[in-house]
Structure formats: C-alpha cells, structure tokens
Amino acid sequence: MSPLPAAAQGPRSFRAMQVDDLDRVMQVEVLAYSFPWSRGNFQDSLKSGYVAELLEASAELLLGYYVAMPGVDELHLLNITVVPDFQRCGQGRALLDRLEWQARQHAFSSIWLEVRASNTRARYLYGARGFVEQGVRRGYYPAGGLRREDAVVMKLDLSQEAAHAAG
C-alpha cells in the first residue's frame, strides 16, 4: 500500500461550491464515477440553493465535495465524492462530519441518502457514522447497457440522537 498523499494529512477547509468551481468538480466527477453527474446537475443544484461545499487542502487542491437538498425537516445527500487519489484517507468522514454539522445548524431531524447496493465501502462508512438502512429502490442507478442497479436507502436520525443526549 502506498503512503497517504501529504495533502490528505494536512489542514483542510470547507467552502461553498460556486459555478466557477464546476470545471474542477467535473474533472473529479468523471474520474470518480462510471455514471457521473452532468455539469447541468451541479448548476441546477447551485441555482436551487442546495447545500454544496468543497473540501480543499488549498485553493488549488480539491479533496472532495458534496451536494445535499434541504427538505421540510430533512437533508437529502445527493452526491458525495472524494477525489480518487485521496480516498481511504479520512476525506469521506470529514465530508460526512460537515454534512451532519450543516444539518444540525439548520435543525434538520434526519439525513437521507441512496447508495449503490454494490458500494460496500460507502455502505460500511455510512453505517459506521450511524446511518441505518431503510429500504431498497429497485433499478435506481444505471449500470451499463440496459442494466440497472438497486440503491440502498439509508437514514441518519438526528432527532433520536438529540433525544438520547438530553435524556
């Protein structure tokens, strides 16, 4: 196993994703996924006021990002991506920590997400963070050709955590 990239070990910061960031974001998106989001998906999310942040080691070095859609009482994670060179270095945990912080700042009672059934690493990470599987969306993701892959729906219940902390 190769050593962790130095940038993955140093200081990191979050900032709001802007339209000007989309060239860098799209470079990562197409590297990270067989079926990436389109530039239009990101533009529409930003235009709609979704929570979208970058995780950076510096102004020049992007580590990851996420996009989440606020609802009435919940936050729905739509996209979370770590730059492939910086995966398995704690960046995913940092992004999830920030997402949870954002949800708490806006008094959301839960965070929802879908994850490919085959993405065992992500499912393990979400489970370790307290997300619980709620069900399956059959044929949710494209999988090449005419095939589709199921999504596992997961939820982090922030209201129960608050109730346990208070009681």
**pLDDT tens track for 135-147:** 999 999 988 888 9
HSE, side-chain direction, 13 A CA sphere, residue 146: 0
Greatest Cα pair distance in the chain: 52
Per-domain residue ranges of the chain: 11-166
Dihedrals phi, psi of 109, to nearest 5 degrees? -90, -10
Mean pLDDT across the chain, nearest whole number? 91
Instruction: Give the right CATH number for 11-166 from 3.40.630.30, 3.20.20.60, 2.120.10.30, 3.40.50.1100.
Output: 3.40.630.30
167, pLDDT greater than 50: no
For residue 37, which of 55, 57, 17, 58 has the smallest C-alpha distance? 17
User: Are the C-beta atoms of 43 and 19 separated by less than 8 Å?
Assistant: yes
Active site residue 126: yes
What is the Cα–Cα distance from 58 to 62, expressed in whole angstroms? 7
Dihedrals phi, psi of 91, to nearest 5 degrees? -70, -40
Select which of 29, 114, 124, 140 is catalytic.
Answer: 114
Select which of 126, 133, 140, 161 is catalytic.
Answer: 126
pTM of model > 0.75: yes
